[in-house]
């Protein structure tokens, strides 16, 4: 078999698998709900343009706008059969894709799509809804920056001499499915990013009792009070600042010396058998 034909076949197979999955989640309809088309607009709706573009990114591994039009031209019959839509050559020009990107990047549109898609995903796949992990990882690189740029100098574990952006994430544990995501400029402190992120996920948390897991920057009093006020729980190491830093050695010594009775902390392994993770005790302070 001609290897070029094999690659083409594999890519078509990718499209046939990707698009029905997106359609099952009603991805085009969800986007159309938050990206209404102009009354004079012809051709595909924004939802179908964005969904087809996403299929191109995932199947080709290429996020650029330039090759999309040629790719659609090569796979038009497959796309039309899978989507049931009539596709025009002008539906995927650079200008058209730029408009889609601009509309999706608007906070009201992005947040609406994110929340509706999250609710739909949790419902369709009946995903376990108990724990959410919160984090704000950084992505650094050689960028020019500027006052209006997202790339700014900030505290970095990688290379503080490079500008960075922060991606604040709320993901469903243990699957790692993003429920809320936003890119912010790199000079911002993590502490103030958690409450807005939690609020973004409120429509996806229909009942109380969720567990929010994060690093020590989640342990800020205002953040923990906000989670408690919503009826949820948190799991985070306390930041070693202020009174905590001086009190922590005494708490540890009480456990080591046996002054405080320890309780085993257990979980179930993949065979359903109980295993001990460690031992600990509770302490309260005002």
Task: Based on the fold, state whether residues 204 and 247 are members of the same structural domain.
Answer: no
76 and 14 together in one domain: yes
- Is residue 110 in some structural domain? no
Q: Do the domain assignments include residue 122? A: no
Q: Among 104, 122, 149, identify where a domain stops.
A: 104
Return the CATH number at 167: 3.90.350.10
71 — phi, psi (to 5°)? -65, -40
**Domain-located, residue 157:** yes
Domain for residue 49, yes or no? Answer: yes
Cα separation of 179 and 200, whole Å?
A: 9
Residue 221 has pLDDT above 80, yes or no: yes
**Residue 169 in domain:** yes
Domain edge (last residue) among 104, 119, 151: 104
* b/e 177-210 (16+ beta carbons within 10 angstroms → b): eebbebebbbebebbebbeebbebbebbbeeeeb
**What is the gyration radius of the CA atoms in the chain, in angstroms?**
24
Residue 70 and residue 164 in one domain: no
**Helix (H) or strand (E) segment spanning residue 139:** strand 138-141
Q: What is the mean pLDDT of residues 107-126?
A: 69
In tens, the pLDDT along 99-111 reads: 888 888 888 877 7
Q: Within a domain: residue 276?
A: yes
Do 188 and 155 fall within a single domain? yes
- Average pLDDT for 79-101: 84
Is residue 124 assigned to a domain?
Answer: no
Q: What is the extent of the structural domain holding 33?
A: 3-104
pLDDT at 73: 85
pLDDT at 124 (0 to 100): 47
Is 164 inside any structural domain? Answer: yes
Q: Summarize the confidence of residues 93-101 as an average pLDDT.
A: 86
Mean pLDDT for all residues in the chain: 81
Question: Which percentage of the chain shows pLDDT scores above 90?
Answer: 16
Identify the pLDDT of residue 4. Answer: 39
The span from the CA of 153 to the CA of 143, in Å, is: 10
Are 157 and 74 in the same domain? Answer: no
Question: For residues 143 and 220, what is the distance between their CA atoms, to the nearest angstrom?
Answer: 32
Give the model's pLDDT for residue 255. Answer: 93
Contact 279, 264 (CB under 8 A): yes
Percent pLDDT > 70 in the chain is 86
Q: What is the pLDDT of residue 139?
A: 86
Statement to judge: residues 20 and 46 lie in one domain: yes
From the list 44, 46, 45, 67, the residue with the least C-alpha distance to 56 is: 67
The pLDDT of residue 178 is above 60: yes
Residues 74 and 162 reside in one and the same domain: no
Q: How many CA atoms lie within 13 A of 135 on its CB side?
A: 10
Give yes or no: residues 170 and 248 share one domain.
Answer: no
28-37, 196-205, 254-263, 265-274 — most confident range: 254-263
pLDDT value of residue 12: 54
pLDDT one-digit tens code per residue, 132-145: 899 888 888 888 88
- 166: number of Cβ within 10 Å: 23
Same domain, 191 and 250: no
Q: How many domains does the chain have?
A: 3
Q: Are residues 229 and 256 in the same domain?
A: no
Same domain, 134 and 229: yes
Higher pLDDT, 21 or 149: 149
When mean pLDDT is compared over 114-128, 181-195, 216-230, the highest value belongs to: 216-230
Specify whether 231 is located in the same domain as 246.
no
pLDDT digit string (tens) for 29-85?
Answer: 777 777 777 766 777 888 888 888 888 888 888 888 888 888 888 888 888 887 888
């Amino acid at each position: 078999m001609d290897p070029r034909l094999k690659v083409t076949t594999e890519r078509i197979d990718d499209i046939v698998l990707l698009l029905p999955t997106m359609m099952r989640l009603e991805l085009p309809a969800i986007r159309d709900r938050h990206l209404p088309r102009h009354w004079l607009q012809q051709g595909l709706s924004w939802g179908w343009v964005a969904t087809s573009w996403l299929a191109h990114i995932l199947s080709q591994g290429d996020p650029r706008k330039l090759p999309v039009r040629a790719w659609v031209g090569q796979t038009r019959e497959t796309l039309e059969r899978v989507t049931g839509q009539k596709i025009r050559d002008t539906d995927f020009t650079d200008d058209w894709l730029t408009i889609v990107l601009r509309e999706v990047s608007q906070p009201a549109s992005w947040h609406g799509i994110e929340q509706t898609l999250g609710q739909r995903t949790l419902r369709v796949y009946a995903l376990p809804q108990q724990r959410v992990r919160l984090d704000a990882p950084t992505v650094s690189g050689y960028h020019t920056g500027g006052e209006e740029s997202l790339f700014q100098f900030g505290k970095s574990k990688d290379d503080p001499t490079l500008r960075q952006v922060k991606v604040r994430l709320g993901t469903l544990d243990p699957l790692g499915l993003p429920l809320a995501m936003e890119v912010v400029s790199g000079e911002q402190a993590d502490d103030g990013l958690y409450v807005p992120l939690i609020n973004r996920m409120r429509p996806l948390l229909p009942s109380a009792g969720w567990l929010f897991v994060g690093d020590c920057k989640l342990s800020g009093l205002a953040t923990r009070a906000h989670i408690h006020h919503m009826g949820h729980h948190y799991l985070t190491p306390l930041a070693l600042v202020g009174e905590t830093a001086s009190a922590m050695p005494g708490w540890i010594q009480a456990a080591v010396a046996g002054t405080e009775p320890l309780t085993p902390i257990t979980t179930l392994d993949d065979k359903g058998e109980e295993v001990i993770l460690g031992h600990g005790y509770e302490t309260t302070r005002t």
